[in-house]
Amino acid sequence: MLSRRNFLSAATALASATAISGRVQAASIPEAPIMEKTTVQPPLYPSSGPDYRPVVTLNGWTLPWRMNDDWKEFHLIAEPVVREFAEGMKAFLWGYNGQSPGPTIEAVEGDKLRIFVINKLPEQTTIHWHGVLLPNGMDGVGGLNQPHIPPGKTFVYEFEMKHSGTFMYHPHSDEMVQMAMGMMGMIVVHPRDASFRRVERDFVFIMSSYDMDPGTPTKGNRNDQLQHVGVEQPRIPRH
C-alpha cells in the first residue's frame, strides 16, 4: 500500500521536476520534463498502481510520467545536450531531456506505456527498447520496422510491459554515431508482485567512455552552446 509519506515524496519529486522544466513543446504535445543538473535526483514513488521500491539513478533521474486512462505516458526529447564532466570541462553530447545519459524510465510489469519521442536532433532518430518483448512495429529499428523520425517530428511508441527486468533504450538510427554521442538510458520494470525478490535499495547507472579533443568551446550560455552544436552538427564527439 502507498503510505502518506510515500505519496508526499512523489508529489515533491514531481513538483521539483516540473519546476526545472521550462520549455513548452508544440501545441499537441504537453510540456516534457527537462533536467538541468547531473546530481542524483530523489526517486519517484508510485502514486498509482502497485507499490514498488523505486530505483535511484546515480548522477541521474527518473522520467516523470502521467496517467492517461490506463496508459502511462512519458515524453522523451532527443536533443543536443551539454554535460560538464569535470569543472570547466563541458562536452557537447546528444541525449534526452537535457541529459546524457537520458532519464530512467520506470514501470511495473503489465503497465501499458505510451512514449512520445520528440526529435530535436539535427538528424533522424528512433528509439529501440533493448531487451523488451514488444510488437515488431514498436521495436524502433529505423528503416526496418518503422520509418526514421525526421528532425522536428514526434513518434509515439505504445506497448505493454510483458516482463519485469532491467533494460535500456537507445537509437537504432545512425546508431554508431548516436550512441557514441551519448544517446542511451535505462529502463527498469518492477515485478507486479512487490514481494518478489524485494530489495532494500535499488540503484542504476550507465558507464560510457568518450574520446574528446581539448579546446571544446566553453564560453557562452547553454542556448549559445546548443545552437553551436546544432550549426556544427558534429558527427563524432569532438570539436
d(CA 183, CA 170): 6
**CB-based contact 133:167 (threshold 8 Å):** no
21: left (phi over 0), alpha (psi -120 to 50) or beta: beta
- Looking at residue 197, the DSSP 8-state letter turns out to be T
Size of the site for Cu ion (CB under 5 A): 1
Distances 6 to 12, 141, 187, 214 between C-alpha atoms, Å: 10, 38, 22, 45
Binding to Cu ion, residues 46-75 (CB under 5 A): none
Binding to Cu ion, residues 80-119 (CB under 5 A): none
d(CA 39, CA 59): 5
Q: Which is nearer to Cu ion, 35 or 204 (CB)?
A: 204
Closest separation between CB of residue 104 and Cu ion, Å? 16
**CB-based contact 18:63 (threshold 8 Å):** no
Binding to Cu ion, residues 113-142 (CB under 5 A): 130
Q: Which is nearer to Cu ion, 112 or 130 (CB)?
A: 130
Q: Which is nearer to Cu ion, 130 or 192 (CB)?
A: 130
Closest separation between CB of residue 198 and Cu ion, Å? 28
Closest separation between CB of residue 24 and Cu ion, Å? 32
d(CA 63, CA 61): 6
d(CA 81, CA 95): 6
Closest separation between CB of residue 218 and Cu ion, Å? 32
Q: Which is nearer to Cu ion, 113 or 168 (CB)?
A: 168
**Minimal CB distance to Cu ion: which residue?**
130
Q: Which is nearer to Cu ion, 128 or 228 (CB)?
A: 128
SS3 state of residue 186: strand
Q: Which is nearer to Cu ion, 53 or 130 (CB)?
A: 130
Closest separation between CB of residue 96 and Cu ion, Å? 15
Closest separation between CB of residue 170 and Cu ion, Å? 6
What is the contact surface with Cu ion in residues (CB under 5 A)?
130
